[in-house]
Structure 1
Amino acid sequence: MSATRLLVLGVVRMYGQAHGYQVRRELLTWSADKWGNAAPGSIYHALKKMAREKLLEEVDAGEEGRGPDRTAYQLTPDGETEFQVLLAKSLSEYDDSTQAGYALAAAVTFLTALPRARAISLLRHRINQMEGTRTTVSSVLEHGVDWGHPPHVNELYRLWDTSLDAVLRWTRDLVSRLEAGEYVMADDAPGAFGQPGARPASQI
């Protein structure tokens, strides 16, 4: 799952139409190059690749939009579907890889682009997956498994167990905050962050 892909789609969607420089400036303003692995080069690559895939389409941006850095894009219907699918997968599917961590960060950024009940449902699915994984890790720590590795390697399982516990607590707390009505979600009011026509963070 590509965090950059989700972030780029999300920013173009939020603006309605955006050129490469706008997308790059917005994401760098959010420091997404650090927590989302969205380097400037990967942003432009994602725009061009998704245009080839018909997820984005070029639009006439007028004279000031001319030039390779000023090509303007907007989401196609397939691009909207891709945005929704990536957002849902990144929130609901647990994976302890670094890339999945970037994707989760990108999804949390656009969390409010979802209706409240949908966001809660996706996060609960993630909780179920993490609880299953944690049960397996805890069982290894409790009973041990002889895989021929030296005893100190069990520290890896303790690290995974501790990390899972922390992320599980955060996810449960987020669900509780959403259930309590925190944050303006897509079905609460027009202009929720991440929705088309919302003010980008750099303009707030």
Structure 2
Amino acid sequence: MSATRLLVLGVVRMYGKAHGYQVRRELLSWRADKWGNVQPGSIYHALKKMTAEGLLEQVAEDAGGSGPERVAYRLTEDGETEFMVQLTEALASDEATGYSMSAAVTLMPTLPRDRALALLRQQLANMEAHLTATHYAREHAVELGKPPHVGELYRLWSAHAEANVTWMRGLIARLEAGEYVMAGEGEPAFGEPAR
């Protein structure tokens, strides 16, 4: 699961069509290089790769009379499907990394509220299972044949797991209370395609 892939698809989808520099500028304005590990060069690579895979198609975009014509991209039907698959997997899968989860939360408003809540509840179940496992490992490290100091690693993992569970419960509660504009709620939601 690639945060870069999801974010590039999401930005192109949001604009309807976008050239590489526009995608790069948008993602850097979000500071996705810091929280999503999105490197500027990987954006251009992702655009080319996803074009070769048929997820994006190139469209000419006029440079406005000065300079060369730029190549812009837009999602194909397969690209729209891939965007939704990547987004839903990142929100619900226990394989989601911190980078892909961050990307998915950024683009979460492109989903209807009920769909987002269902995916987040699945992720919460994954997080709670991970928390249980880290607590068990922390409490039984020596019995499991680990050196005593390795218990500190399990304490660190437990602290992260507890923070993740607390945050996810809060996010679910905020969405249930109607916070944030989500897809299909009348107003344009963040990340929805340009109209």
Letter in 1 for 2:152: E
Kindly state the Cα deviation for residue 142 of structure 1 after the two structures are TM-superposed.
2.6
5+ residue gaps, structure 2, are: none
Partner of residue 41, structure 2: 41
1:149 is aligned to 2:171: no
Secondary structure of the residue that 1:71 maps to in structure 2?
Answer: strand
Cα separation, 2, equivalents of 1:6 and 1:55? 12
Partner of residue 159, structure 2: 162
Kindly state the Cα deviation for residue 145 of structure 1 after the two structures are TM-superposed.
5.2
Per-residue CA deviations over 1:39-88 (Å, capped at 9, x if unaligned) read 110000000000000000001213549859x3100000000011001111
Kindly state the Cα deviation for residue 30 of structure 1 after the two structures are TM-superposed.
0.9
Cα separation, 1, equivalents of 2:138 and 2:49? 44
Partner of residue 15, structure 1: 15
Q: TM-score, normalised to structure 1's length? A: 0.89
Instruction: Give structure 1 regions of 4+ aligned residues with deviation exceeding 6 angstroms.
Output: none
Partner of residue 124, structure 1: 121
Partner of residue 134, structure 1: 131
Secondary structure of the residue that 2:188 maps to in structure 1?
Answer: coil
Q: TM-score, normalised to structure 2's length? A: 0.93
Per-residue CA deviations over 1:93-142 (Å, capped at 9, x if unaligned) read 1347xxx1111111111010010000100000001111112112212223
Q: How does 1:7-156 map to 2 (within 5 A)?
A: 7-64=7-64, 70-95=70-95, 100-144=97-141, 146-156=143-153
Aligned length: 194
Q: CA RMSD in A?
A: 1.8
Larger RCO, structure (CA 8 Å, separation 6 or more) = 1
5+ residue gaps, structure 1, are: 199-204
Farther off after superposition, 55-64 or 177-186: 55-64
Partner of residue 201, structure 1: none
In structure 2, the CA distance between the partners of 1:178 and 1:109, relative to structure 1 (3 Å rule), is same
Cα separation, 2, equivalents of 1:50 and 1:143? 46
1:172 is aligned to 2:174: no
Letter in 1 for 2:28: L
1:6 is aligned to 2:3: no
